[in-house]
Structure 1
């Protein structure tokens, strides 16, 4: 479903992404829960891990590719609670997390999400 959602994201957003890795996990790990100060592991649908493009420098030592985590169980829980279409939720989370890779604002991400 994540791959299908990626196909619906505008090419101009995906083209510069490059070596971004997408992982699907059931829940955030305990370190992420502590770091994000989550009350519940269901509170986080996705997460961008890396240095956004606005903060990258050629002098930076890169420890690996930037990553997006999609958390399956929280996404499914959100789907059940809201009744929104599941592919639309996955697409929304991907756009939001890819937006963090670029350092976009929430307004920027909403504009991109409205593009089909």
Structure 2
């Protein structure tokens, strides 16, 4: 039994010795493993905010507001409520879309790869 355990241990060490070593480079006070996709961030630029309103919130709000306004009143009152609901819904939809798009900043990040690209 002891021979089998000893043989298994020696075989494990021999197999582990066949594994390729990772390259390690000393840079300053730390060590770094070499890799193909490593790099350093060399520049971060703030591109700013892209605030493009496409109008989807306004259209959707007007449709929903008009549908809800159509449920109120009879005759000319129903028409007026539909128009008022569409206008109010459009305004609400526009504000919701505007608030959801505000505050998104975009950045351009430049990375210098270790292999020179």
Q: Which has the higher contact order (CA 8 A, sep 6+)?
A: 1
Higher strand share: 2
TM-score normalised according to structure 1 size: 0.27
TM-score normalised according to structure 2 size: 0.27
- Structure with greater Cα Rg: 2
